[in-house]
């Protein structure tokens, strides 16, 4: 069945969900399955077109810290899952020191979110014995991926089903219709879709824009916290990790945990480490080094590099001799590894799914790249507001005033140094840094940019200063709800998609119960 024709916009709905990313799809399906008449509006079409429609068109005050909006979000069925990394990671208990909800309250909803994403929520296993001796960090928790990362593809049959929510594409919402303090629907240019309740799931920036437009129409409708405390994550790599026992690396490689779900082990600071040392919550994991550097000494990596150079008719940097020497030291391993890599690449091209390598390429002799993903604490100076310039619909563009600050950058470096000390104390390994403390600070600062994880700005809370309550209902506006990263009071170390979908499914259950 084709998607709903725009003539059906004249109907009245119980609930209108704005935005068909993973949160919007999950919320709309659940609401429909509860017996409600649901409209799901998506500004884009089946596939994203970068920059169009410019739902999130913005002026960026500090482009060195925030990537352009046309590459950090997608207007399409499935939203940004058209190009996300697919990581499903629950928050840690320590993160909820800033939340009005508890870890245990969200735990069952993470499981429901993982079901929707085709992944797994909480995945843990015992680490190698040396890593089990860590005192200030732990290495038990995984990040997970499902076999299909694009939610538009994963749920395409449900999207096209005759019995489902009415889904409208190329339906850009330009405002919220109200009768006094009560929602009556949404504005679509010069027409209005009528609905008793409205749920905003159009990403962090898209949701904030609609709330800011409401605030412009009705000054004082929200507290001055609206748009403030916008957050992202700090990501990058400033060190290698050299395990004492090379065999321990296998415990940190992606592994199949059943149902075509893959998991990868992370290392995290304990809650006591975070609070006593005043560091941010952060996760570390082993990552592949560059195959072009023969110093890794890995036969399979050198075989892949040599094959790539041959496909490019020899074009590339660096001498081939050291790579040939690596292959000759273990020719059978190189042949097997090359065949596996070729199979994964072919499978990825046929299915559109990311390959999952079950071995890791060293970055140097007995040393692997160590990546990090760290929280950025909320800062009121990081703010989303309306600009004076207009977008293609004649509405104000967003103004993004966002920076990474010295305190969180320094906290990331301190976390690395604490991990290094803990690894050495447990005789599990050590970190290998490229420079001194000042150079580490400079490296983190050089990589400190985001925009993909649009968190905060409409934080939930129990007091009147918060924008939404614990049921995600917008304060002072009856019938309006938000299910996006903008409601996060803090960002934690985890990638946010699993928690956003968990909140969306929890909200759907609440609205259906009402």
Give the whole-angstrom CA distance, residue 287 versus residue 255.
Answer: 14
Q: Render pLDDT for 312-337 as a digit per residue (tens, 0 to 9).
A: 445 555 555 654 554 465 565 445 55
Q: Which of 202, 70, 150 is nearest to 486 (CA)?
A: 202
Q: Which of 341, 340, 142, 123 is nearest to 252 (CA)?
A: 142
* Burial zone of 97 (CB within 10 Å; 0-12 exposed, 13-18 middle, 19+ buried): exposed
Count CB atoms within 10 A of the CB of residue 77: 28
Tokens 């290094």 appear where?
420
Which positions ≥6 away from 179 have C-beta within 8 Å? none
| 334 phi, psi to nearest 5 deg | -65, -45
Give the whole-angstrom CA distance, residue 125 versus residue 104.
Answer: 20
Q: Which of 107, 143, 403 is nearest to 284 (CA)?
A: 143
Residues 72/449, Cβ–Cβ less than 8 Å: no
Any idea what DSSP says for residue 52? B
Residues 209/59, Cβ–Cβ less than 8 Å: no
Residues 191/9, Cβ–Cβ less than 8 Å: yes
pTM: 0.89
Give the whole-angstrom CA distance, residue 372 versus residue 393.
Answer: 39
Cα Rg of the chain, angstroms: 24
| % residues pLDDT > 70 (the chain) | 85
Residues 374/404, Cβ–Cβ less than 8 Å: no
> Once rounded to an integer, what is the mean pLDDT over residues 96-124?
97
Of 8-12, 120-124, 200-204, the one with minimum mean pLDDT is 8-12
Q: Is the pLDDT of residue 355 over 70?
A: no
Of 183-192, 234-243, 316-325, 453-462, the one with minimum mean pLDDT is 316-325
- Domain locations in the chain as residue ranges: 1-65+73-85+149-231+380-400+454-514, 86-148+233-289+360-375+405-447, 292-352
> Once rounded to an integer, what is the mean pLDDT over residues 30-48?
95
Q: Which of 99, 20, 185 is nearest to 455 (CA)?
A: 99
Determine the pLDDT at residue 119: 97
Give the whole-angstrom CA distance, residue 75 versus residue 45.
Answer: 7
Bridge partner list, 182: 179, 478
Question: Under CATH, what is the fold of the domain 1-65+73-85+149-231+380-400+454-514?
Answer: FAD/NAD(P)-binding domain (3.50.50)
Determine the pLDDT at residue 8: 76
Q: Which of 440, 447, 449, 450 is nearest to 416 (CA)?
A: 440
Count CB atoms within 10 A of the CB of residue 260: 14
What is the residue-averaged pLDDT of the chain?
A: 89
Taking CA atoms, 408 is separated from 21, 282, 440, in Å, by 30, 11, 13
Q: Is the pLDDT of residue 410 over 70?
A: yes
Q: Which of 494, 392, 463 is nearest to 100 (CA)?
A: 463
> Once rounded to an integer, what is the mean pLDDT over residues 129-149?
97
Q: Which of 42, 39, 404 is nearest to 198 (CA)?
A: 39
Count CB atoms within 10 A of the CB of residue 316: 13
Q: Which of 384, 100, 98, 375 is nearest to 228 (CA)?
A: 384
Query: How far is CA 427 from its chain centroid?
Result: 33
Q: Is the pLDDT of residue 299 over 70?
A: no
Give the whole-angstrom CA distance, residue 497 versus residue 485.
Answer: 8
> Once rounded to an integer, what is the mean pLDDT over residues 144-168?
95
Most confident of 239-253, 276-290, 307-321: 239-253
């Amino acid at each position: 069945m084709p998607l709903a024709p725009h003539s059906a916009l004249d109907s009245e709905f119980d609930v209108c969900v704005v935005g068909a990313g993973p949160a919007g799809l999950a919320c709309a399906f659940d609401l429909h399955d509860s017996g409600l008449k649901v409209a799901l509006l998506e500004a884009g079409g089946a596939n994203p077109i970068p920059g169009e429609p410019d739902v999130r068109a913005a002026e960026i005050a500090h482009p060195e810290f925030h990537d352009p909006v046309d590459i950090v979000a997608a207007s399409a069925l499935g939203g940004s899952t058209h190009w996300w990394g697919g990581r499903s990671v629950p928050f840690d208990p320590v993160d909820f020191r800033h939340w009005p909800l508890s870890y245990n309250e969200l735990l069952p909803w993470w499981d429901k979110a993982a079901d929707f994403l085709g992944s797994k929520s909480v995945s843990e296993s015992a680490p190698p014995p040396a890593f089990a001796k860590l005192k200030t960090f732990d290495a038990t928790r995984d990040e997970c991926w499902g076999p299909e990362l694009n939610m538009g593809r994963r749920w395409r049959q449900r999207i096209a089903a005759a019995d489902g929510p009415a889904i409208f594409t190329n339906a850009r919402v330009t405002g919220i219709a109200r009768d006094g303090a009560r929602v009556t629907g949404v504005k679509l240019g010069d027409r209005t879709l009528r609905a008793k309740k409205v749920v905003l799931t159009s990403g962090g920036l898209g949701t904030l824009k609609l709330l800011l437009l409401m605030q412009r129409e009705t000054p004082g409708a929200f507290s001055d916290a609206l748009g403030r405390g916008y957050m992202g994550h700090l990501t990058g790599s400033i060190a290698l990790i050299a395990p004492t026992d090379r065999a321990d690396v296998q415990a940190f490689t992606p592994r199949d945990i059943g149902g075509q779900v893959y998991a990868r082990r992370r290392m995290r600071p304990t809650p006591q480490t975070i609070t006593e040392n005043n560091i941010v919550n952060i996760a570390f994991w082993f990552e592949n080094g560059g195959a072009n550097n023969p110093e890794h000494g890995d036969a399979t990596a050198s075989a892949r590099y040599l094959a790539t150079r041959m496909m490019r008719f020899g074009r590339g940097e660096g001498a081939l001799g050291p790579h040939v020497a690596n292959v000759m030291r273990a020719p059978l391993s190189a042949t097997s590894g090359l065949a596996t890599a070729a199979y994964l690449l072919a499978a990825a091209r046929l299915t559109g799914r990311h390959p999952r390598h079950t071995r890791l390429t060293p970055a140097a002799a007995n040393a692997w790249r160590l990546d990090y993903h760290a929280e950025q604490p909320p800062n009121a100076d990081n703010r989303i507001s309306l600009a004076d310039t207009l977008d293609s619909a004649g509405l104000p563009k967003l103004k993004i005033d966002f920076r990474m600050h010295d305190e969180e950058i320094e906290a990331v470096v301190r976390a690395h140094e604490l991990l290094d000390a803990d690894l050495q104390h447990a005789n599990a390994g050590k970190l290998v840094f490229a420079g001194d403390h000042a150079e580490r600070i400079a490296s983190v600062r050089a990589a400190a940019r985001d925009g993909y994880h649009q968190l905060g700005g409409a934080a939930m809370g129990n007091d009147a200063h918060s924008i939404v309550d614990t049921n995600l209902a917008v304060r002072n506006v009856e019938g309006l709800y938000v299910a996006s990263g903008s409601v996060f009071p803090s960002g934690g170390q985890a990638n946010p998609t699993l928690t956003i979908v968990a909140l969306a499914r929890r909200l759907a259950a609440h609205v259906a119960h009402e």
